[in-house]
Amino acid sequence: MQNIDKDLQSIQEAREKASQAFSAWKTWSHASQEQVDRVCGAMAQAALDASERLGIMAHQETGYGVPEHKRLKNELASRHVWQSIKDLKTVGVIKHDVEKKIYEIAWPMGVIAGLTPSTNPTSTVMYKILVAVKARNAIVIAPHPAAARCCYETTRLMAQAAVDNGAPEGLISCMQNITLEGTQELMRHKYVALILATGGTPMVRAAHSTGKPAIGVGPGNVPVYVDRSADIEKAARFIVASKAFDCSTICATEQSVVADAPIASRLADLMQREGAYFTNPQETDLLRKLLFHPDGTMNTIAVGKPAEYVAGLAGFSVPRGTRILVARLTKTGKEEPLSREKLTTVLGWYEEEGWEAGCERCIELIQFGGRGHSLVIHATDEEVIMAFGLEKPVFRIVVNTMGTLGAVGLTTGVMPSYTLGAGGVGGSITGDNVTAIHLMNIKRLAYEISPPPAAAMVPGQPKPAPSPDEIEKAVREAVVNILNIR
């Protein structure tokens, strides 16, 4: 009975927050650009000011990652996201094509259901609130149960900053009674216009199954190819740092190294100096058994944990200061569990002769998990870089940088975002880094620029009225059809 009560409470809360958000949105949909930007600027600053506190809170509640790294992710989600969209027009006429005589007019979606993960909880909430409200939408956050408190606190302080600067009450909210039934009720609610889902595959599938418009992005399985032309020292330093960053809880984190054979030994040595520990075959097998269940799902006990802790869970010890564990692999697919996405400090390692073979191995990894997501390449040979850009079935290919920070827009020029579209090949509606532009519709006011063809103005030949015989025939056919249907 207690579980039933909790489900009912969650369902009722979802209904109330969706209704309150819709009421607030009807007011907010008429906000001026100045009002929108004032509210969003205040929310971004409030989130930025609390980045450290919220990072600590997220780590304490979930047990995932590194508090300092979560602070950096919060800074990206507040300051950098706001800087990337603050000049974007989201109210009224946003573009005028004089030659084609078309005016483009921004139009909000309405109420957005924002589903957020436990791995990047506070940063994803910050980002989703900013991009939703900038596009004149309301948003109800549905957090992962394991991160409910830190997500609520993040939402609370941003909502308060919004109200203090003129936004209506109820425009921004976060569910506190979290159950699957309540989240489903929110997604299906008549006032919810769009679902913005970031998290695991089941969550994304649930969002798409509601019949509502949904932007859903799931897991990545990001390979990093290191070419013989690469700056090997930089590649080693960046790969280890990126994989260790927040204990590999970002979906764009490197999951497997594909090393060009001539530089593989040197790269391995340099990575070891940076804190990588290469496991022996017995230790690798222990990691396989620890990290994944027989059905291929990841064991959450190891998610977002430091390398020394993971090794201890698996049953072996590593030197103090070890930052990541690296397992040498030869196979890809279901027969090799460690070729999957690993949301912890374990990295796969492959060696291939030449960039063509490296390219094929990367494609195998992408096809096995993370279609359309991301890839990292370290190289200085522009022909190799472009070949990867042209051939890989992913929508973010970051070059000579950390996958973790490059794909989300901190160290590259792509839009800062914590929802990374995987395109049609990955089951997503877009391959973009999702931002405010994706959360509004565009109306087009189009004037005539050329007269209609003359043939369009000529009346068609009138058809004469049916004869009595034709009417009788049509009636007989209709009766036969009715009898056949019965």
The pLDDT tens digits of the residues spanning 424-438 come to 888 888 999 999 999
Closest Cα to residue 82, out of 148, 139, 119, 36?
A: 36
pLDDT of residue 203: 75
Hey, what are 91's tokens? 């109210």
Is 251 assigned a catalytic role? yes
Overall average pLDDT of the 38-53 stretch: 98
What domains appear along the chain, each with residue ranges and CATH number?
A: 2-218+434-443 (3.40.605.10), 222-408 (3.40.309.10)
Is residue 485 pLDDT above 60, yes or no? yes
pLDDT of residue 369: 85
Give the pLDDT band (50/70/90) at residue 231. very high
Give the pLDDT band (50/70/90) at residue 49. very high
Highest mean pLDDT, choosing among 275-284, 289-298, 363-372: 275-284
The pLDDT tens digits of the residues spanning 169-200 come to 999 999 999 999 999 999 999 999 999 998 77
Give the pLDDT band (50/70/90) at residue 75. very high
Closest Cα to residue 43, out of 149, 142, 167?
A: 167
Overall average pLDDT of the 129-137 stretch: 98
The pLDDT tens digits of the residues spanning 345-382 come to 999 999 999 999 999 999 999 999 888 899 999 999 99
SS (H, E, C) the chain: CHHHHHHHHHHHHHHHHHHHHHHHHHHHCCCCHHHHHHHHHHHHHHHHHCHHHHHHHHHHHHCCCCHHHHHHHHHHHHHHHHHHHCCCCCCCEEEEECCCCEEEEEEECCEEEEECCCCCHHHHHHHHHHHHHHCCCEEEEECCHHHHHHHHHHHHHHHHHHHHCCCCCCCEEECCCCCHHHHHHHHHCCCEEEEEEECCHHHHHHHHCCCCCEEEECCCCEEEEECCCCCHHHHHHHHHHHHHHHHCCCCCCEEEEEEEHHHHHHHHHHHHHCCEEECCHHHHHHHHHHHECCCCCECHHHCCCCHHHHHHHHCCCCCCCCCEEEEECCCCCCCCHHHCCCCCCEEEEEEECHHHHHHHHHHHHHHHCCCEEEEEEECCCHHHHHHHHHHCCEEEEEECCCHHHHCCCCCCCCCCCCCECCCHHHCCCCCCECCHHHHEEEEEEECCCCCCCHHHHCCCCCCCCCCHHHHHHHHHHHHHHHHHHC
Give the pLDDT band (50/70/90) at residue 4. low
| 392 or 12, higher pLDDT | 12
Model confidence pTM above 0.85: yes
Give the pLDDT band (50/70/90) at residue 2. low
Out of 40, 151, 251, 359, the active site residue is 251
Length of the chain: 486
Is residue 1 pLDDT above 60, yes or no? no
Overall average pLDDT of the 4-31 stretch: 95
